[in-house]
């Protein structure tokens, strides 16, 4: 099976459930796509004790009984494509590289990023304006030159949080596709073997549980940032060893059934377990992004420089002049 064929396999499960249920309950059998009533064992001419109207009613009831099988899988037919996250991730990674006033390390994945030599020149810009003095010069140095490196590093961390959130989403939907496909495969197998002793047990592992790693506190750099931290998430496949211990172990749920109805009930349980796991993983991303957004909004000056006073007085010849003392 493959995820792309999930809708087809859902139909297969439905058809199999209806056919096997009708045979188990009423000895109605299917041949060449048509349902036929059981033969009367006391009849010499092969006729059935079941009328045509009774046959149609039994088939209709069975089809309605298992009609929800389609809806069980419908929510998974339009899952996001993991490959759609690659483009945005590449763009954010480019942004991270541009923010490197020195060789920064991704605090979540642990990957190194090369220095942006053009931007790093800003960290020594103070040396080129040594002859400029006065209140404006001091304010410019204090508000822009000195904190520049810390601000760019904090921006780098924010970009890392965004890139790793995208990566976590990619891994989440990749595993969700694998898990729902695995469930469909095992439900179909269970329908084939529920009557076989020793073959009516199966296991479903929800690897989606470990797809998203929640990182409670990612510290920032300098200023008031020393006292605050950002929430983040990471892909369970690509996370630094520092956070590897926070990866949740995927549960392996055991199921068993001895009837068509039992198999479908267990299928519902498995799919609901998967939905719940996906929702919990998504909530980790929502919580981390909400936390980070709130921190950035509350401590804006740790990420973005204030508007220069000089910009408010573009035509004042006295602003920025050297002191004569």
pLDDT digits (tens, 9 = 90+) for 72-91: 999 899 999 999 999 999 99
What is the pLDDT of the chain when averaged over all its residues? 86
Residue 239 burial (10 A CB sphere; 0-12, 13-18, 19+): buried
**How high is the pLDDT of residue 6?**
92
Most trustworthy range by pLDDT among 39-43, 123-127, 161-165, 295-299? 161-165
Average pLDDT score over residue span 112-119: 89
Between residues 133 and 83, the one the model is more confident about: 83
Q: Is the pLDDT of residue 129 over 70?
A: no
Strands of the chain (E only): list them: 29-31, 34-36, 104-105, 112-113, 201-205, 212-219, 229-235, 252-256
**Mind listing the pLDDT tens digit for each residue in 154-166?**
999 999 999 999 9
Q: Is the pLDDT of residue 324 over 50?
A: no
**How high is the pLDDT of residue 289?**
94
> What tokens does 253 get?
């749920």
DSSP 80: P
Q: Do 114 and 156 meet the contact criterion of CB atoms below 8 Å apart?
A: no
CA 263 to chain centre: 29
**Helix, coil or strand: residue 204:** strand
Which of the four pLDDT bands, split at 50, 70 and 90, describes residue 191? Answer: very high
């Amino acid at each position: 099976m493959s995820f792309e064929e999930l809708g087809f396999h859902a139909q297969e499960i439905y058809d199999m459930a209806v056919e096997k249920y009708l045979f188990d309950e009423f000895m109605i059998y299917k041949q060449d796509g048509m349902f036929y009533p059981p033969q009367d064992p006391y009849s010499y001419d092969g006729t059935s004790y079941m009328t045509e109207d009774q046959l149609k009613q039994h088939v209709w009831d069975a089809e309605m009984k298992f009609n929800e099988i389609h809806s069980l899988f419908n929510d998974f037919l339009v899952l996001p494509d993991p490959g759609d996250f690659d483009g945005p991730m590449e763009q954010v990674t480019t942004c991270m590289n541009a923010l490197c006033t020195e060789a920064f390390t991704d605090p979540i994945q642990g990957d190194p990023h090369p220095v942006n030599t053009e931007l790093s020149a800003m960290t020594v810009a103070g040396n080129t304006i040594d002859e400029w003095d006065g209140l404006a010069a001091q304010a410019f140095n204090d508000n822009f030159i000195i904190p520049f490196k810390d601000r760019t590093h904090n921006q780098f961390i924010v970009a890392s949080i965004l890139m790793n959130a995208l990566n976590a989403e990619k891994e989440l939907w990749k595993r969700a596709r694998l898990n729902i496909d695995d469930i469909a495969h095992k439900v179909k197998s269970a329908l084939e073997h529920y009557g076989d002793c020793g073959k009516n047990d199966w296991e479903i592992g929800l690897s989606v549980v470990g797809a998203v790693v929640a990182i409670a506190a990612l510290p920032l750099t300098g200023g008031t940032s020393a006292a605050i931290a950002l929430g983040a998430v990471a892909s369970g496949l690509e996370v630094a060893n520092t956070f590897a211990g926070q990866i949740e172990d995927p549960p392996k749920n055991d199921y068993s059934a001895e009837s068509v109805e039992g198999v479908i009930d267990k299928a519902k349980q498995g799919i609901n377990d998967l939905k719940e796991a996906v929702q919990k993983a998504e909530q980790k991303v929502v919580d981390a992004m909400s936390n980070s957004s709130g921190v950035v909004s509350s401590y804006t000056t740790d990420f973005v420089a204030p508007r220069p006073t000089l910009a408010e007085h573009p035509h004042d010849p006295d602003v920025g002049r050297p002191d004569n003392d």
